[in-house]
Amino acid sequence: MIWDQVWLVIWTLLKIVAIVLPLIIVVAYLTYAERRVIGFMQGRMGPNRVGLFGFKLWGLAQPFADTVKLLLKEIIFPANANKFLFLMAPVITLATAFAAWAVVPFSDGLVLADINAGLVYILAMTSLGVYGVIIAGWASNSKYAILGALRSAAQIVSYEIAMGFALVGVLIASGSLNLSEIVNSQAGGIGHWFFIPLLPLFVIYFISGVAETNRAPFDVAEGESEIVAGFHVEYSGAAFALFFLGEYANMIMISSLTAIMFMGGWYSPFTGNSWIAQPSILWFFMKTGFFLLLYLWFRATFPRFRYDQIMRLGWKIFIPITIAWIMVIAVLKVYQIGPWFS
């Protein structure tokens, strides 16, 4: 009896490690990919020198060099800063970013917690991340940090609504809050994926996701050229590394969620019985990777939005469009209209 319980705990912990460890490595290589891709798009090489044992390996050891550097650096506490909150902020950011992964289905049945309210859980976890940002800004006792935190908080809260509405569309179309069931309702080739009937919601969801993770072109919260680095300006060393990790884990999260909600998760775009039409975890990774590439592509392409433009885009454009499209989807669903809802 008791040993069953203990075994369950150990088994769950092992599963958590099996998710978090690869995630951290992917985050490390995402930073490398970001610098390489943006470099290539700007006609540069990007980091191509740091290698192992005298081999250059196209700079593949760069993220490890960066990590070691960050971990060895001193954490500087600003004068009169609240030390406890100052250290808690990056932990909150990271913890919420990782916690959301609990309900992400990587493949059929391959999910840590197959809970029925997965969608709600995801929304809750991604929204909690904003506390890390606000606390970091406030506890830093710095005007740049507080400005960055305020901008970031307002932006995240605004885009959360558009994002939530976009997910309501998915919810109506699939009829479930369980992420695995959402993917399963998209089975059967690219024509059944939700991004076709929900195209406006799909675009808005991903753009809101970019805004929600404070990435370019919505990165006014960090705005290097105006408020130096925003909410994490006072952080250095390992504490900064945690923010970094959290931000990139959130990027991967949004990308994989877009793949799950709109692009059919682990399902192949092809139909038939050949090997290429089989559902596989590789399809999920490929779709996630595509959206991650889009993140980097956006950053290489677009100039930063002005702050009022960001707010206008969120409140005056995205929210009305999502509401209108939810109505359309609801009507299609209730009266069983169209090729997708009949």
Per CB under 8 A, residues contacting other proteins are 37, 40-45, 48, 203, 297-298, 300-302
Find the shortest distance in angstroms from Cβ 64 to other proteins.
Answer: 21
Residue placing its CB nearer to other proteins in the complex, 37 or 310: 37
Tell the residue number behind the tokens 């406030």, with chain if given.
138
Residue placing its CB nearer to other proteins in the complex, 43 or 339: 43
- CA-based max dimension of the chain: 66
Asked if residues 230 and 148 have their Cβ atoms less than 8 Å apart, the reply is yes
Residue placing its CB nearer to other proteins in the complex, 48 or 176: 48
Residue placing its CB nearer to other proteins in the complex, 299 or 333: 299
Backbone angles phi, psi at 52, to 5 degrees: -115, 140
Find the shortest distance in angstroms from Cβ 312 to other proteins.
Answer: 12
Listed residue (62, 80, 58) closest to 70, CA to CA: 62
Asked if residues 51 and 57 have their Cβ atoms less than 8 Å apart, the reply is yes
Find the shortest distance in angstroms from Cβ 35 to other proteins.
Answer: 13
Tell the residue number behind the tokens 């999920």, with chain if given.
284
Q: Any bridge partners for residue 107, and if so which?
A: 110
Find the shortest distance in angstroms from Cβ 260 to other proteins.
Answer: 23
Q: How far is the CA of 247 from the CAs of 47, 90, 201, in angstroms?
A: 21, 10, 23
Listed residue (27, 21, 18) closest to 256, CA to CA: 27
Residue placing its CB nearer to other proteins in the complex, 169 or 265: 169
Find the shortest distance in angstroms from Cβ 297 to other proteins.
Answer: 6
Query: Which residues, 6 or more positions from 195, have their beta carbon under 8 angstroms from its beta carbon?
Result: 202, 262, 263
Tell the residue number behind the tokens 């593949």, with chain if given.
60
Find the shortest distance in angstroms from Cβ 200 to other proteins.
Answer: 9
Find the shortest distance in angstroms from Cβ 193 to other proteins.
Answer: 20
C-alpha 92/C-alpha 81 separation (Å) is 17
Find the shortest distance in angstroms from Cβ 44 to other proteins.
Answer: 6
Amino acid present at 71: L
Residue placing its CB nearer to other proteins in the complex, 12 or 301: 301
Asked if residues 314 and 211 have their Cβ atoms less than 8 Å apart, the reply is yes
Find the shortest distance in angstroms from Cβ 40 to other proteins.
Answer: 5
C-alpha 125/C-alpha 329 separation (Å) is 26
Q: How far is the CA of 257 from the CAs of 211, 265, 289, 291, 308, in angstroms?
A: 15, 8, 12, 10, 28
Asked if residues 144 and 230 have their Cβ atoms less than 8 Å apart, the reply is yes
Residue placing its CB nearer to other proteins in the complex, 170 or 207: 207
Residue placing its CB nearer to other proteins in the complex, 140 or 258: 258
> What's the angle, vertex CA 30, arms to CA 73 and CA 129, rounded to 5?
75
Residue placing its CB nearer to other proteins in the complex, 26 or 41: 41
Tell the residue number behind the tokens 């390992």, with chain if given.
238
